[in-house]
């Protein structure tokens, strides 16, 4: 059985964007709370970035990112539940469980449950395994942050590999992808550290896109594993 994933869009006043199967509907309040608190955690980290980037007060200062990540406005925020059924490389006939990719949003929060498997790319040929630290949340920078900083912050390339312990047990993980609001243009952040930087242009892209257009663009491009 291949990897299974369930994507939750944002919850509007606690109500999911689409009907949920009973197993999730039973715990809809908890899910809505989790999505909102994941988003809030992203906002806290983004605030630290805004302070580090010394965004001037006249440009929203430490709230620069928060103003562009309003939970109550449309955005690509996704809460994803993943199940990687037990088995090994030979049974699946594949070298990796989730191919190397970058995430589309601003920040991704990853929660590995009991079994590791995630690797992040350190260089073109070198991968580092992300150990399982109980209670820890792994934070990846996504493509929007790379656009906003003209490449100063790199979108982390990552993948999931087979480990011997995956043969005997299913691997579960959870990801919260935080996105800017659809209408936000992906221009360089007003920071003294980014003066003179040019926005990274995605392949095939013609103009400065909004976060919503960028998401559509990425979703229309070749889909990898989900």
Ligand X SMILES: O=C(O)CCC(=O)C(=O)O
Contact between 80 and ligand X (CB under 6 A)?
yes
Partner in contact with 144, chosen from Fe ion, ligand X, none, beta carbon below 5 to 8 Å by kind: none
Among 118, 178, 188, 209, binds ligand X (CB under 6 A): 118
Among 10, 39, 69, 158, binds ligand X (CB under 6 A): 158
CB 206 → ligand X: shortest distance, Å? 27
Q: Cβ of 206: how many Cβ atoms within 10 Å?
A: 7
Contact between 178 and ligand X (CB under 6 A)?
no
Contact between 98 and ligand X (CB under 6 A)?
yes
CB 106 → ligand X: shortest distance, Å? 14
CB 64 → ligand X: shortest distance, Å? 25
Contact between 103 and Fe ion (CB under 5 A)?
yes
- Residue with tokens 């989730």, as numbered in its chain: 98
Partner in contact with 110, chosen from ligand X, Fe ion, none, beta carbon below 5 to 8 Å by kind: ligand X
Separation in Å, CA 176 to CA 78, 82, 95:
6, 11, 25
Q: Where are the beta strands (DSSP E) in the chain?
A: 4-8, 78-84, 96-101, 107-113, 118-121, 127-129, 138-141, 158-161, 171-178
Token code pair at residue 133 = 């630290």
CB-CB contact of 215 with 9 (8 Å): no
Closest CA to 162 of 117, 121, 119: 117
Total chain residues near ligand X (CB under 6 A): 11
Stretch that binds ligand X, among 41-49, 110-118, 148-156, 197-205 (CB under 6 A): 110-118
Among 106, 156, 173, 191, binds ligand X (CB under 6 A): 173
Among 175, 178, 194, 215, binds ligand X (CB under 6 A): 175
Residue partners of 209: CB distance under 8 A and separation at least 6: 185, 186, 202, 217
Residue placing its CB nearer to ligand X in the complex, 159 or 199: 159
Residue partners of 26: CB distance under 8 A and separation at least 6: none
Residue ranges of alpha helices (H) inside 63-194 are: 64-67, 89-92, 143-148
CB 208 → ligand X: shortest distance, Å? 25
Which residues are at the interface with Fe ion (CB under 5 A)?
103
Residue ranges that bind ligand X, judged by CB under 6 A: 80, 82, 98, 103, 110, 112, 118, 158, 160, 173, 175
């Amino acid at each position: 059985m291949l990897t299974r994933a369930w994507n939750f869009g944002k919850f509007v006043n606690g109500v999911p964007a689409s009907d949920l199967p009973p197993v999730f509907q039973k715990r809809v309040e908890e899910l809505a709370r989790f999505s909102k608190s994941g988003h809030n955690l992203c906002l806290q980290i983004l605030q630290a970035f805004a302070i580090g980037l010394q965004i001037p007060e006249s440009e929203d200062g430490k709230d620069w990112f928060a103003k562009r990540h309003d939970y109550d406005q449309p955005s690509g925020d996704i809460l994803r539940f993943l199940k990687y059924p037990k088995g090994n490389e030979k049974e699946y006939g594949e070298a990796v469980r989730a191919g190397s990719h970058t995430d589309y949003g601003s920040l991704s929060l990853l929660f590995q449950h009991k079994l590791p498997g995630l690797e992040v790319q350190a260089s073109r040929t070198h991968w580092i395994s992300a150990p399982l630290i109980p209670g820890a949340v792994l934070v990846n920078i996504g493509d929007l942050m790379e656009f906003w900083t003209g490449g100063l912050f790199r979108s982390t390339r990552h993948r999931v590999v087979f480990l011997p312990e995956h043969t005997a047990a299913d691997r579960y993980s959870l990801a919260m992808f935080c996105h800017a609001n659809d209408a936000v243009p992906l221009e360089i952040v007003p920071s003294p550290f980014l003066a003179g930087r040019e926005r990274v242009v995605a392949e095939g892209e013609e103009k400065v896109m909004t976060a919503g257009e960028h998401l559509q663009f990425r979703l229309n491009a070749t889909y990898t594993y989900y």
